[in-house]
Amino acid sequence: MSTTLEHPTTNIARRELSILVVGSESDPVQQTVSRLDKAGYTIEGTCSTQEALEKVRVGSCRVLLADVEMPETNGFVLLERALHFDPAVCVILVSQEYSVDSAIDAVKRGAHDFIRKPIDYARLSQTLDQLGERFATRSQVRELQDQLLSNLRFHGIIGKSPAMLDMFDMTQKVARHFTTVLITGPTGSGKELVARALHQMSPVAQQRFAVCNCSAIVDTLLESQLFGHVRGSFTGAADTRAGLFEYANDGTVFLDEIAETSLSMQSKLLRVTQNREIQRVGSPEVKTVNVRMIAATHRDLRAEVLAGRFREDLFYRIGAVEIRVPGLTERPEDIPLLVQHFVKKYSDAYGKILHGLSRRAQIVMLQHDWPGNVRELENVISSAALTTTNDFIDISDLPVHLQKPRARSGSAQDGWRPLPLEEIRRIHIQRVLEMCNGNRVRASQVLGIGRTSLYRYLKRAAHQRTSNSSVA
Amino acid sequence: MDWENMERSTYRVEISGWDSGESFFVEKVELQWDPDGGKEACVQNLLKQGSVVFIRLLQPLSTHHTYPVAYYVMEVGTRDARGLIRIVLEQARPRPPMSVRRLVAERAQ
């Protein structure tokens, strides 16, 4: 075999391709190591399958060149164990008893190639060089993906799906105007990030942005936090303090989980939105504030209004402009981007070199329902990054419940099937009427349609049932 | 610093993770931080000992975004009269890569 290398890039690819030769006899192993070493490959040899598997486990070889006929451990068993430790390792099996059937069988079981003894080094070099090129290309793709990720950020929010692009567009349009905004979306979908983006793009970006989580504090303390208090106004009020609205005057106040506030608190917030007025707890003095309010909730505020738990006048004040943040199931195409982002984040945070997820781990991530949305996805990557000892996160690094395959909701197993739109409408209206105990006025409000429209629909449906039964 | 006379600090936090039934949960709780570094909280969800949870500080007047920090659940108590379960937490440290662990083991020999 020629030791002259033609292309500088081939030299580099060969040096970066770490190969381990495994065989039962020392001389043939050393012969192979020597020949490939002269050709410029980074190569080691061993006669111990245990040592070979350990090297695969720690990621110190990308290619395993293994003899099938080994007394200690058969080459196919070594193949299976090596792939278990590192699904990305490329195993090339070498055998005296070569046949097309055995080669196909080896490939089906996960081997990269199956070659005969004595080794044709020209052919082997060709295979190894192709592998080297593939790894180099993948590395370039990862770098390009990192660059692309930075282009797909919108003020810290990541997404390229149509749902997210629509949301970015709406956020950009609304941000320019000093107006109250309501952000809705499921828990863990990133509502606070949207609020921050709104502030950053607003005319008051240089002013303060203050966050208050309304579900985090009891009502009495919340009032003090938001509006301030005077000394002695309640037990523990040792001094006079300004509240959040005064603190962020001329800026933005973000009220997260606004649906969790009491009706009494809501009436005070209404006063801020209507009259731009506040009063510190225990003080008769009315102060004027100029604050942009952004509110967020995971609840359906209209339903909360109907249930009597949220003031309708406050709802109309804060809900005039609504931005809806989609849940992860509405934008599954963003999952790989988010995974990439969090792998980098926790790779840096934990001081580890993590390149990404193995292919089978990626599949698991795409199949999961993500009830906890982006927060849950971040926690999964953080947890996996903590525990993994390799530079790729594999299935075994993921939380236990993700390691078990689960059917997605909407699959045949849970009774879903595609129905005509009219049938879906009929079933939904029926369910809402049942929920409202037959009260059509209430049902029309829940459905968001006029009372007359509902009466007309029900009349038409009853007429259709009558004509169907007369035909039958 | 007079450690003996330092009082416990209490922080309002968001705790998230997977409960004993492997369902994802999010709760807002009070985290107690002892002068000797021990951290505990009372939660509604039943957790498994050794599981990982994520704690995010909820700051009423915060101007900066806070990030979740991973903790191991070291102890899980029984449900009290309020329906809450006391848990003891310890911050999780990342496992070093296998190459580093091997190096450390070689040096120890």
With a cut of 90, say whether residue B46 has pLDDT above it: yes
Residues of B in contact with A198 (CB under 8 A): none
- The answer to whether B104 contacts chain A (CB < 8 Å) is no
Please tell me the predicted confidence (pLDDT) of residue A324. Answer: 94
At residue A459, the pLDDT reads 80
CB contact under 8 A, B52 and A390: no
Interval B9-41: pLDDT, tens: 888 889 999 999 889 999 989 999 887 778 999
- Mean pLDDT for B85-108 is 78
Residues of chain A with pLDDT under 50: 1-6, 407-414, 471-472
Name the minimum distance, in Å, from the CA of B4 to any CA of chain A. 24
Write down the pLDDT at residue A409. 46
Residues of B in contact with A350 (CB under 8 A): 94
Does residue B4 surpass a pLDDT of 60?
no
**Amino acid, res. A261:** T
Contacts of B98 in chain A (CB under 8 A): 57-59, 389-390
What pLDDT is stored for residue A4 in this prediction?
43
| Yes or no, beta carbons of B24 and A372 under 8 Å apart | yes
Contacts with B18 from chain A: Cβ below 8 Å? 399, 401
Do the chains contact at A383 and B70, CB–CB below 8 Å? Answer: yes
Q: How far is B60 from chain A (nearest CA, A)?
A: 5
Put simply, the answer to whether A59 touches B98 (Cβ < 8 Å) is yes
The DSSP annotation for B9-29 comes to EEEEEEEEEE-TTS-EEEEEE
Q: Is A382 on the interface with B (CB under 8 A)?
A: yes
Q: Please indicate if any CB of chain B lies within 8 Å of the CB of A223.
A: no
ipTM for the predicted complex: 0.75
Cβ neighbours of A247 (radius 10 Å) = 19
Asked if the C-beta of B30 comes within 8 angstroms of chain A's C-beta atoms, the answer is no
Residue B11 C-alpha, separation from nearest chain A C-alpha, in angstroms:
10
A241 close to B (CB below 8 A)? no
Average pLDDT of span B60-86: 83
Higher pLDDT: B51 or A237? It is B51
- pLDDT reported for residue A321: 92
CB pairs under 8 A between A and B: 92
DSSP per residue, B77-97: EEE-TTS-EEEEEEE--PPPP
Tell me the nearest-neighbour CA distance from B99 into chain A, angstroms.
6
Cβ <8 Å between A212 and B95: no
Nearest chain B residue to A404, by CA: B22
pLDDT at B6 over 80: no
What is the CA A221 to chain-centroid distance, rounded? 35
Decide if pLDDT at B101 tops 60: yes
CB contact under 8 A, A216 and B26: no
